[in-house]
Amino acid sequence: MKLEELKKKQLECAKKVVARDEFNEIKTVGGMDLTFEDLKKTPTRAWASLVVLDLETLKPIYELVVEGEVSFPYVPTFLAFREMPLLLKLYEKAEVKPDAYFIDGQGTAHPRGCGIASHFGVETGEVTVGVAKTRLFGYAKEPPNERGAFTYLRYKGRVVGAAVRTKENAQPVFVSPGHRISLKSAIELVLKTSRYRVPEPTRLAHNLLQKVRRKALKGGRLF
């Protein structure tokens, strides 16, 4: 499929994004992440993980890893088309569905308003938040160096997300609504789940993947 057609899909997705609170109560948060055997190779083997945490204790209550092949090449701003199939496989296999999902990527802070967190949210109907380690879209001032400080990510006067300081003396993370949540609530949820720079749901999902990837590349048993 040509990139122009994929751009149209993203623009259509953006129209379906709900950037306001459409949930009753969030008691569990799941972090989703994905890693590759060879980032520069297509196709390549890949793994996706989900770690679900109790929001009050921040302790994991469920985890799952799935393996598959990724055949869409790495193209900036088209991450969803590379990673979504495996994330959907993970979602379908998960026996525990959290009240909200953190995805390592962008939500509305995307050139066409639908990053992978929004794409996943619209596709599944779940509450999703984009939590990225790097800025993709929009411009923000550096937030004050104190935990909980944030500045808005803006593009042409429109707020698309926020740079959030989750830990003093650490670089901010970039938060944006994925689907069915406001930016205000997304920021609050990220701060509530952060002990280090990266919020616990996605940090633990990433750590789990690194263990699985190392075992797989050594030829060991994964599960």
Task: Output the average pLDDT for the chain.
Answer: 96
Supply the range of the domain harboring residue 102: 3-217
Pairing mode, if any, of strands 60-70 and 44-54? antiparallel
* Measured CA angle at 16 (ends 91, 206), to 5 deg: 35
Relative to beta strand 158-164, strand 100-103 is unpaired
Give the domain CATH number at 90: 3.30.2170.10
Confidence of residue 223 (pLDDT cuts 50, 70, 90): very low
Residue 52: which of 126, 145, 113 has the closest Cα? 126
Does residue 222 form part of some domain? no
The predicted pLDDT at position 39 comes to 83
Question: Phi, psi (5° rounding) for residue 153?
Answer: -85, 125
Of the candidates 179, 174, 187, 125, the residue with the CA atom closest to the CA atom of residue 14: 179
* pLDDT tens digits along 145-194: 999 999 999 999 999 999 999 999 999 999 999 999 999 999 999 999 99
Record the tokens describing residue 77, joined without a space: 């701003």
| 223 within domain boundaries | no
- How many distinct structural domains can be found in the chain? 1
